[in-house]
Structure 1
Amino acid sequence: MSLGHQLKLRTQWWLILLAASVLVIVLTADRTMLRLDNAFYDRLLQLGAPAPGQSVLMVEIDDESIARLGRWPWNRGIHAALIDRIKAGQPRAIAYDVLFTEPGDPAVDALLAGSIAAARPIFLPMVPPAPGLSGVAAAPVLPIAPVRQAASGIGYATIDPDADGVVRSATVAAGPAQHLMALAALAATSPARPADHLAMPVGARLIPFGAGGGHWPGVSAAAVLAGQVPPELLRDRVVLVGATATGLGSRYPTPTGSVMSGLEIEANLVNGLISRTMIRPAGMPARLGLGLLPLVVLMIGLGPWRRMPAMVVFALCAGVVVAIAALCLLVWRLWLPPGAALAGLAVAYPLWGWRQLAVIEQFMRVQLLRLEQEPSILPRVALVGAVKHGVAGTIALLHAAIARNREMQHFVADRLDQLPDATLVADLPGRIVMANAAAHRLFTTFGHPIIPGATQAQALLSAVRLVGSGNPVPFPPEVEEPATHEVQRDQAHFYLVGMAPQTQADGQRAGWIIRFVDISESKAAQRQRDDVVQLLTHDMRSPQASILAVLETAPADRIAPVEASAIRHYAERTLRLADGFVQLARAEYLEYTLEEVELGDMLIDAIDDLWPQSRAKAIEIVTHGDEQMLVMGERSLLTRALGNVIGNAIKYSPDGTTITCTLTRQVRADGSAWGLCTIADQGCGMDEDLRARMFERFARGPVGLGPKTSGAGLGLSFVHTVMVRHHGVISCETEPGKGTTFTLALPIKD
């Protein structure tokens, strides 16, 4: 991806992180996600429901009690008797949730006050203050004075459902006033300080409801009055007295999914206070931490340091949020609402994915348009329809690029199959990715069939061995340049293995191209040539030398002079023919050892070697030019080539003539410097037909125009071969009767 697109994506990453963080802060502050948080809280609360409490007992003014004791409200004497019965069981504390705010019969009120005083600790409810018409809170409505003075404490017993109507929390203490059930719980746990409201937490606390309603122990008030409840059931318990009869007691939905009476909700509250399992809502810093930290982790995981798939990162972050919220609630009794955190993750993840896709789509479009404008060796694939803009345009460009790539792959595979040599394409580890038909045929005969994408190049190279050492072919090559090895399968099959590195457009190494060239026929021809050279250099030269030796040592009367002269002539001619053929073979196939040599020195050496022949014909050889010209060459072969040209000039020139050898330097149009050696004679010259074929083997002449000479016709062929292998040029200018000029040109070493 280009630097501009990367910078744009990085900027958008920060903007998304900032926007999602602001969203999390807003959602955390205004509790927009309250419904989701409540649903999650209700589910978790059912998983961690406390065991049924044994410290709380409900005495219910239920339908049975109304039926047995009469309609409501009861005479206060009945309440006094009920309190006396409960006191006889020796409970820890009594919370009597019945209002006594209006005076009645003084004697009965005094009786009730006496029973309350005897049953301490006992706590009575009051009507909490309500805001008046002017907005100022009215005074609370307290129980009548005798009853209030006899009670251990007065508290409010209101139940405040949440906005969805479900009761989840209770305000335990608010300033100097406390909840009635909090007073009873405090009296049960701290009998010495039954009215110490400082021991209670201020503010709302979440009630640890059980898994379902109706599991708290409860008895009918009528049964208690009738003595049907054993005192042991009341002993050491907090007794809650309240109305649950139809039409008297209110009922509320709870997080457990069931509907509970107000008295049962108060029983859950008292049990939570006594067992210290009340659930604390987390403060703003903790809630912001839960919302922002997973968001930062998600953005880091999706952005700069991405190591996992985006969906996995999102799932992990969401799972961590849920796990932390559940762990805090079930273990530490702390409620961390996860709604804002999950909302931040749910917004950031698709938003970042959308922006990533948008930037990538822009980048792809730019690259695809650039690719579309590049020249192609194949016919272009027409775009689908006429779409040029938007995602549909990018898809069309991508479709064209894919089709173009497929056509290129097909084209490369076809051209590869058309190569006559076995050719392999391997990736960087050496796995074969492409092989042409010749390669499949070759390695099938080797017993190593090629399976693209599975076969290793090293396994195929193990089928051959390096010529000479017998070692395996090294792969990959130790050098980065193309390497060539001569290998053999057996004594009859030889190959040249070429390996060249394959690079990408940016120059990085991508793999290898390996080619097998069958040189079995050339190796066989080379063996035959070596045999011929051996035949000429030894098997033919030895008998001819023996013939000449016999002629030299035989008595004069044994061989007639005429026959001896003829035999000598043919033997010497055979030796010259063999020597010329051997020299030509050396020039054609010898591995040259190049060195710096001076062209003028080699010319002088060639002239000196031919001094006897030139003197015999009184031919003067003149040289011009003394500038030093260094060339890279094989000295003996170049000297012999110069000698062959000068020797031909001597051979075909009349006696008493002059041969002129001139050395000059020439700078060509491309700036390269060449050394020229021009050898001109005053001989008979050559006609056009002979000039056209004078570098062919066994081409001799001009026999009809000049003096009769002997030769094998291999001299100029040797000269031509030596010049070509030295990257030089030989040319000839001649006319019949006007002599011949040969020019030998060699590149001068810089």
Structure 2
Amino acid sequence: MKLRRRLGIEWTGVALAASLIVCGLIYWNSLSGFDNLLYDRLSEYDRPEAPDDVLIVAIDEDSLATFGQWPWSRSRHAALLNQLADAEPKAIAFDILLSEPGDSEEDMAMANAAAQTDNLLFPLHFVFPGTNGAAFDIKEPIASLKQAAAAIGHVNLLFDRDGVVRRTSLCFKDTANGTSNDEIVWPHLMEQVYRQINGESSAIFRRLGDCQQPLLMPYANRGDFAQVSYAAVANGEIPRAFLKDKTILVGATAQGLGDQHPVPLGDGGTMAGVEIMANLLNDITADRFVMPVSTTMQIALSLIPTWILLIGFWRWRPRTTIFVSVGLVIFILSASAILLSLQIWFAPGAALVGLALVYPVWGWRRLQATSDFMDGELKNYRTETPDIPVLQVPLGPVDLVTEQAEELAHAIKHVRDLRRFITDALTNLPDPMFITDLDGKVKFVNKLAQSGVEDGVQDLALDDMLERFVAPEGLEDVKDYLAIDQELREHDYVDFTSVKDEIFAMRRARILSDEGELRGHIHYLADITEVANAAQEREEVLQLLSHDMRSPQAAILALLDGQDATDENKRIESHARRTLALADNFVGLARIKSSEFSGEEILLSDLVIEANDSLWPLAKQRGIKSTVEDYTEGAFIIGEPSSLYRSFANLIDNAIKYSPDDSDIEIVLRSIDLDKQAFVSVTITDQGNGIAEDMLDQLFERFASNDDDSHGTVKGTGLGLNFVSAVMARHGGSIRAENVREGGARFTVLLPLAPEPEELV
């Protein structure tokens, strides 16, 4: 459980960290270099074809050589416009910025030429940042050209972080310069060209929720668009029929004019701005822009492979995980390529980084957690391993993890040896034994428990197992014993007779895990056949003592009753009574050690008075006065009346026996408290010669009597005092003997007071 909890925490940390890193990479576009490079490579396999109706009129090196240094006069452009207008093209996009006024006559000449052309479009562009703190400045064509143009559109390019033109926006929105809640929307020059030709906005423009959304532009191969030199057109070298019904884009292509920009082509070269415009117009016309997925979708798609791998860590083996990881990398790249063919771009960089991050980090954290766990468990193993006769192989010097792995392997081998050792020990126990799980299925049996059941007992139900061992008449008692919770049982075993007439004592013990959880039970059957037979024989002996030996003595006493009290008759009567007392005490001792305590509420003063009264004739015969004084105010105890009565009769009888004639015996009952527990104290004091000092320590031992002279020093009372001591201990009390300073012996009995009725449970 500790390792599982630790790994759960580590896994959660790795999952959260990886997810946050993936989200951060996407949000800050940190992997744009890799994603753009991959996009460029994938784009090479599906480049669009250049249409035949788009023609670039290029201001190239030949044109510069023909007409001189740039910039040219606007009258030169006016002459070109007149020639192009005569050829009746679909539209003319003049991709040259004319935002600054020049010579007024030349400006007017170009404006007049523009006015003669119905489908001429001029560019505008935005300068960032603007002047006087403005966000940007708008550079429109001069007023006369703007008025003469069919439409104007912006020609700003979007550059990625690497300076490559991959994206474009079909419009630019000027919210800051708008009035009220209105906003000024400037369509791109190529969007305006499309509208000029088709009379409506493009499908992609209409479909976009925001026309400023950046779109990825698929590029045709460099040079695929038809291109003629500006000078060739101006000099009439290009037939009018070649220009008819073409969409003509006029722009600079010469290297020295500064309108060259990096584009995502495999050769890594630049492309003239006017050719970029041609590609853009082709994409607008064919509606083949690539739509990047939204940021939310990008995050979701990038996290899915990471979480698949994270979840797989809990289910797959390491070998499976590495194959799945490689498969996920291939899947991500393939999915990105397939989506690109469907004009959707999913940048795979963040998803790949998520996989590349999760696999080694989780491997590191799992290895660290496992290493720490093994280290702790191996330390516990070394301190808790029992000393059994198994071989321990010394380990050589290696790195930490290998050392732990080798030590774990040796520990597992040691556990196998320990298991075999325990199995062999249990199997060869001298008594039957079997183990059950929580479902009551037998999981292990030793040889003796399996003997006679050759069909096997593995997974045998407990009731079926019991029926094979226990005789039918004792089966219910055994089941009742097993049904009682172990902590609530008064007895920790149950006796039963087996089907083979053997007598067993069955004990059940719980099997607990290291965390204290119940896992099963051990059932141990101790063969007590000989013990039970011995107990039966003892019971028969007790019956002999109790009946057969008592009867002759009782007959002797009956014969002496009414006879002359001669010394011989008195001696015979004394020996007969002593034999009866010996038999009663011996039987009493045996019974209290073999039977359960069965107490009831007793008013102790009545019991003591009754015992004293029973010995009144004996005391009167010798002139001894025995009195009972009760200061307990009716104290009750929980006890067995017969054994207590005999105990106090023994004590009073001893007091009479060892007291001189015409003396007094005091019996006093008091209530006392010892260690916050209530007791009843009974003291019996005589006026005899007391107890010999060398007998005080062994007075209550069995057969410790020395009955030389009833009027001499008391040196022991045989089985009588041993019986009294056993009875008091059985009742939770005690007995103490001492000599009184004024002469005589005193026996003090302490018995616990019965609890009040409300205290009884």
Q: 1:185 maps to which residue?
A: 194
- Report how far residue 731 of structure 1 moved: 1.9
**Does residue 615 of structure 2 align to residue 610 of structure 1?**
yes
Instruction: Provide the residue aligned with 1:601 in structure 2.
Output: 606
In the alignment, the residues of structure 2 paired with residue 55 and residue 633 of structure 1 have an alpha-carbon distance, to the nearest angstrom, of 119
Aligned partners of 2:87 and 2:480: how far apart in 1? 104
For the structure 1 residues 208 and 292, does the alpha-carbon distance in structure 2 shift closer, same or farther, using more than 3 Å as the test? closer
Q: Distance in 1 between matches of 2:709 and 2:741?
A: 11
Report the Cα distance in structure 2 between the residues aligned to 1:651 and 1:200, rounded to whole angstroms: 125
Alignment-derived partner of residue 700 in structure 1: 705
Give the corresponding residue for 1:213. 221
In 1, Cα distance between equivalents of 2:557 and 2:642 = 32
Contact 1:207 1:278 in 2 (8 A): yes
**Residue in structure 2 matched with residue 388 of structure 1 by the alignment:** none
Report SS of the residue matched to 2:541: helix
Task: Give, in angstroms, the shift of residue 113 of structure 1.
Answer: 5.6
What is the rounded CA distance, in whole Å, between the counterparts of 2:696 and 2:603 in structure 1? 29
Q: In 2 relative to 1, CA 413–483 (structure 1 residues): closer, same or farther, beyond 3 Å?
A: farther
- Which one-letter code corresponds to 2:194 in the other structure? A
Query: Secondary structure at the residue paired with 2:705?
Result: coil
The secondary structure found in structure 2 opposite 1:471 is helix
Partners of 2:90 and 2:119 within 8 A in 1: no
- The one of 721, 724, 728 equivalent to 1:719 is 724
CA contact under 8 A between 1:665 and 1:674: conserved in structure 2?
yes
Q: Sort the Cα spacing of 1:502 and 1:155 in 2 relative to 1 into closer, same or farther, 3 A.
A: closer
Aligned ranges 1:232-243 → 2 under 5 Å: 238=247, 240=249
Change (3 A) 1:263 1:724: same
User: Displacement, 1:592?
Assistant: 0.9
Please state how far the C-alpha of 1:415 moved relative to its aligned partner.
11
C-alpha change, 1:573 and 1:639, in structure 2 (3 Å) is closer
- TM-score, normalising length from structure 2? 0.56
The Cα RMSD (Å) is 7.3
Partner of 1:641: 647
Measured after TM superposition, the shift of residue 605 of structure 1 is 1.9
Distance 1:722 1:236, change over 3 A: farther
Cα shift at 1:584 = 0.9
Question: In the alignment, is the contact (CA less than 8 A) between 2:166 and 2:263 conserved in 1?
Answer: yes
**In structure 1, C-alpha distance between the alignment counterparts of 2:490 and 2:119, rounded to whole Å:** 104
In the alignment, does 2:266 pair up with 1:270?
no
Q: Which SS does the other structure have where 1:533 is aligned?
A: helix
Q: Following superposition of structure 1 onto structure 2, how do residues 223-234 of structure 1 map, counting pairs within 5 Å?
A: none
Q: CA deviation at 1:45?
A: 7.8
Letter in 2 for 1:183: Q
SS in 2 for 1:699: coil
- Cα deviation, 1:176-235, whole Å, max 9, x if unaligned, reads 9765423211123316x99xx999999866353216634955466789x9999998xx99
Matches within 5 A, 1:303-318: none
The CA distance in 1 between the partners of 2:597 and 2:30, in whole Å, is: 93
Does residue 486 in structure 1 map to residue 493 in structure 2? yes
Check whether the contact 1:155–1:183 (CA below 8 A) recurs between aligned residues: yes
Question: How many aligned positions are there?
Answer: 600
Letter in 2 for 1:733: E
Match of 1:748 in 2: 753
User: 2:480 and 2:40 mapped to 1: Cα distance?
Assistant: 73
Name the CA shift for 1:276/1:615 in 2 (closer, same or farther; >3 Å): same
Residue 123 (str. 1) matches residue 131 (str. 2): no
User: How far off is 1:594 after superposition?
Assistant: 2.6
Is 2:63 the partner of 1:52? Answer: no
Please report how far the alpha carbon of residue 720 of structure 1 lies from its aligned counterpart in structure 2 after TM superposition.
0.8
Residues 39-91 of structure 1, C-alpha deviation per residue, up to 9 Å, x if partnerless? Answer: 6466558768987267674424579x998x9964599899689848975xxx7
Residues 731 and 744, structure 1, Cα contact 8 Å, conserved in 2 = yes
How far apart in 2 are the matches of 1:252 and 1:212? 15
Equivalent in 250, 261, 268 of residue 272 of structure 2: 261
1:252 aligns with one of 261, 272, 275:
261
Unaligned runs of 5+ in 1: 1-12, 295-307, 310-314, 358-397, 418-431, 504-508, 554-561
Tell me how far apart the structure 2 counterparts of residues 335 and 134 of structure 1 sit (CA, whole Å): 37
Tell me, in whole angstroms, the C-alpha distance in 2 between the residues paired with 1:549 and 1:131.
139
SS at match of 1:584: helix
The one-letter code sitting in structure 1 at the alignment partner of 2:120 is F
Cα separation, 1, equivalents of 2:751 and 2:125: 121
Helix, strand or coil: the match of 2:492? strand
Q: Is the 8 A contact 1:127 1:142 kept in 2?
A: no
User: Residue 544 of structure 1 contacts residue 572 of structure 1 at CA under 8 Å; is this kept in 2?
Assistant: no
Aligned residue identity for 2:163: G
**1:583 offset after TM fit, Å?**
0.7
Aligned-partner SS, 2:736: strand
1:443 and 2:441 are equivalent in the alignment: no
Cα distance change on mapping 1:129 and 1:592 into 2, 3 Å: closer
Which residue matches 2:738? Answer: 733
Q: 1:526–1:675: structure 2 CA closer, same or farther, 3 Å change rule?
A: farther
Q: CA 1:494–1:173 in 2, change beyond 3 Å: closer, same or farther?
A: closer
> Given the alignment of the two structures, is residue 623 of structure 1 paired with residue 634 of structure 2, yes or no?
no
1:586 and 2:569 matched: no
Query: What is the rounded CA distance, in whole Å, between the counterparts of 1:84 and 1:269 in structure 2?
Result: 23
Q: Which residue of 2 aligns with 1:678?
A: 683
Aligned equivalent of 2:164, options 166, 176, 181:
166
Show the counterpart of 1:663: 669
Matches within 5 A, 1:391-470: 443-445=426-428, 459=443, 469-470=477-478
Q: Distance in 2 between matches of 1:96 and 1:416?
A: 98
Tell me the CA shift for residue 718 of structure 1: 0.5
Query: Is the 1:498–1:515 contact (alpha carbons within 8 Å) kept by the matching residues of 2?
Result: yes
2:719 and 2:673 map into 1 onto residues whose CA distance is 32
**Deviations, residues 662-712 of structure 1 (Å, cap 9, x unaligned):** 2223334x3433322122334454433444433222333332354999x99
Residue 597 of structure 2 aligns with an amino acid whose one-letter code is Y
Query: Are the structure 2 counterparts of residues 188 and 51 from structure 1 closer, same or farther at C-alpha, using a change threshold of 3 Å?
Result: farther
Instruction: State the Cα distance separating 1:748 from its structure 2 match.
Output: 2.5
Kindly indicate whether the alpha-carbon contact (under 8 Å) linking 2:124 and 2:139 is maintained by their aligned counterparts in 1. no
Q: Deviations over 1:266-296 (max 9, x none)?
A: 12322343455668999xxx98x999999xx
Task: Give, in whole Å, the separation in 1 of the partners of 2:672 and 2:128.
Answer: 119
Q: What SS does the corresponding residue of 1:263 show, helix, strand or coil?
A: helix
Letter in 2 for 1:640: R
Deviation at 1:749, TM superposition (A): 3.4
Specify whether residues 606 and 442 from structure 1 end up closer, same or farther in structure 2 by C-alpha distance, changes over 3 A only: farther
Offset, 1:500: 11
| Aligned residue type for 1:443 | L
Match of 1:445, as an amino acid? Answer: N
2:539 maps to 533
Relative to structure 1, is the Cα distance of residues 281 and 186 closer, same or farther in structure 2, using a 3 angstrom cutoff?
farther
Match of 1:362 in 2: none
Residues 1:235 and 1:163: Cα distance change in structure 2 (over 3 Å): same
Q: Which amino acid aligns with 1:95?
A: A
Contact kept? 2:434, 2:524, Cα under 8 Å: no
What is the percentage of aligned positions where both structures have the same residue?
23
Over 3 Å counting, the alpha-carbon distance change for 1:113 and 1:732 in structure 2 is closer
Q: Which amino acid aligns with 2:192?
A: L
Structure 2 CA distance for partners of 1:455 and 1:269, relative to 1, 3 Å: same
**Cα shift at 1:166:** 2.1
Distance 2:656 2:547 in 1: 26
Change (3 A) 1:254 1:493: farther
| Residues 692, 134 of structure 1: alpha-carbon distance in 2 compared, 3 angstrom cutoff | closer
* SS of residue matched to 2:672: strand
